[in-house]
Structure 1
């Protein structure tokens, strides 16, 4: 009888141990799914916040002084974004990055005689951006739906 009791106790212990391990793995799986979803949502929120910073210029009219501030801000931030400014006098010019090929940005600045922002603020320069002129902004996205450029066209 003693052996039968020990066998029942050992069997019950094994079943209880298996149940506890199964419950542990189930809780781990649920926690992992919740963690993955939370990480995905946080990543999406971070992208939305970053996009909002530049999305505010889409279909918005701003002054030339603000255009220069946007160029400086993007230049200082290190963001991989090109800024195109089209004026009546100089035509179209790229700042920070050249996004002529929206999926392959290149540094904009080759061939500049001096700092492009200095030229944009020099009234005697062809690339001058009139601080009081109005510019309409357009946000341009690449094939990954990332903001790759902002275009400002003088009205």
Structure 2
């Protein structure tokens, strides 16, 4: 009789130990899963930040640099094709003021803001004041809003 009771006690003990071990393994794996999910979320946030910075970097290369008129015209077309909410302004030597493409740019006391959508395309006749000479040199300037978002590029033709 005693051996039967001791065998039952051992089986109950092993069963209790097994349940405790399974519970610990489940708790550990749940904690690991939560940690990995948090790591994944942080990684995703970092990737999004880097992508945003890279997009800004692509536009910041124009700030203070001189590019050809051909590249300016290509940039206007690229911005229109990709439907980017950004103003591209061009001031040629023959023009008295800046001509905006894609969107206008409104300067105010609180900083620059996007204005109305512009449907114009750069003129192709050399006799027009806003004609962008493909061989001309244009100095770029980046324009930002009050939140430091790039909302426009303005190019002025150099003599």
Secondary structure, counterpart of 1:100 in structure 2: strand
Work out the CA distance in 2 between the residues paired with 1:15 and 1:131.
77
Structure 2 match to 1:25: 30
Indicate yes or no: 2:132 matched with 1:132.
no
Q: Flag structure 2 segments of 5+ consecutive residues without an equivalent.
A: none
The counterpart of 2:102, out of the listed 96, 114, 128, is: 96
Work out the CA distance in 2 between the residues paired with 1:146 and 1:9.
65
Tell me the matched-pair count.
148
The counterpart of 2:126, out of the listed 120, 123, 126, is: 123
Normalised TM-score (structure 2): 0.78
Work out the CA distance in 2 between the residues paired with 1:11 and 1:30.
29
The counterpart of 2:144, out of the listed 123, 141, 144, is: 141
The counterpart of 2:118, out of the listed 94, 101, 108, is: 108
Indicate yes or no: 2:70 matched with 1:65.
yes
Compute the displacement of 1:44 (Å): 2.3
Q: What are the superposed Cα offsets for residues 61-120 of structure 1, whole Å, 9 maximum, x if unpaired?
A: 1222221121112112222221011234241111012232644453112xxxxx522x2x
Work out the CA distance in 2 between the residues paired with 1:143 and 1:9.
68
Equivalent residues of 1:90, 1:127 under 8 A apart: no
Normalised TM-score (structure 1): 0.79
Alpha carbon RMSD of aligned pairs, Å? Answer: 2.3
Q: Which has the higher strand share?
A: 2
Work out the CA distance in 2 between the residues paired with 1:132 and 1:37.
47
Equivalent residues of 1:85, 1:93 under 8 A apart: yes
